[in-house]
Structure 1
Amino acid sequence: MTLGMRGVVYDAENHAVFLVRHTYVKGWHFPGGGVEPGESTEAALSRELVEEGNIEILERPVLRSFHFNRMASNRDHVAVYLITGFRQTHPHVPDREIAEARFFPLDALPDGTSDGTRRRIAEIFDNAPVSDEW
């Protein structure tokens, strides 16, 4: 089994979420990635947010949902955390993994926002039913 996590970093003042565009996959996604051996999902989340967005978690994230991701493999699962207590130390500079990373208002998501990302936004912010699958 593989385990990943995604962070829904929410700026309540601007009603915006942080999204990243990778260099190796199309579309805009929540930051996140795989959980390494010996690492908790929250430790992996903290690591990925710093790596992908220079975002430090200041309050414990809230586990919002857990999904089977059959598009990745028949053994992949993704935990989704909501982060409202955070600070961004400085804007992300494009690198070999992340081409772009920034906040977008929920009512103005960029073209190419992935379907899974849009579904998680609807589940968290619009009270849509939570899907078992990514």
Structure 2
Amino acid sequence: MTFYLKERLSSKLKSIINTPSVGVRAAIINKQHQILLIKHTYREGWHMPGGGLAPGETPIQGISREVKEETNLHIESAAVVSVLLNKWRSQHDYVILFKVIQFTGSPCINDPSEILDIEWFNTNQLPEDITINTRRRIEEIISGEPNNGHW
């Protein structure tokens, strides 16, 4: 619950002072062409791992940290797929989406107070309760179709 409150407070403060934030997400795809998704304890649906950048952190440092914290995987290399605008709760966020196919480790939940579940899914059999924007980003990555610039 503390993650949810921290996220809501941070979002509200940023919207009051009109400060955009930068976040990162990782489409982690294994050799079986499955994608790794997580469920948070404080947010509905399945999502790609990721989160906000810390002050002074580069995008690759941020996605490496977030993936390690949320999945226990170590990213060996990641490629930027797109940079998207996310208008959420009257706040302007920018999301840097990475595709990760080179990683080490086995996924597991490091912090059960933040992550409820973690699972590999076939990209053509995504879970019903995946968020619509997560589904769209995965479909764009798999098909190679361009996105509209919005999360």
Q: TM-score with structure 2 length normalisation? A: 0.82
**Cα pair distance change 1:101/1:90, threshold 3 Å:** closer
- Displacement of 1:22 in angstroms is 0.3
Runs of 4+ in 1 over 3 A off after TM superposition: none
Instruction: Give the count of matched residue pairs.
Output: 132
For 1:130, what is the secondary structure of its paired residue? coil
- Displacement of 1:122 in angstroms is 1.3
- Displacement of 1:127 in angstroms is 2.1
* Equivalent AA in structure 2 for residue 49 of structure 1: V
Superposition RMSD on alpha carbons, in Å?
A: 1.4
For 2:29, what is the secondary structure of its paired residue? strand
Instruction: Give yes or no for the alignment of 1:132 onto 2:139.
Output: no
More helix by share: 2
Partner of 1:28: 46
Matches of 1:73 and 1:19, distance apart in 2: 26
- Displacement of 1:46 in angstroms is 0.5
Partner of 1:108: 125
Instruction: Give yes or no for the alignment of 1:50 onto 2:100.
Output: no
Q: TM-score with structure 1 length normalisation? A: 0.92
Give the number of the structure whose alpha-carbon radius of gyration is greater: 2
Partner of 1:77: 94
Contact 2:70 2:111 in 1 (8 A): no
Matches of 1:43 and 1:104, distance apart in 2: 26
Partner of 1:5: 24
Structure 1 residue aligned with 2:140, among 111, 115, 123? 123
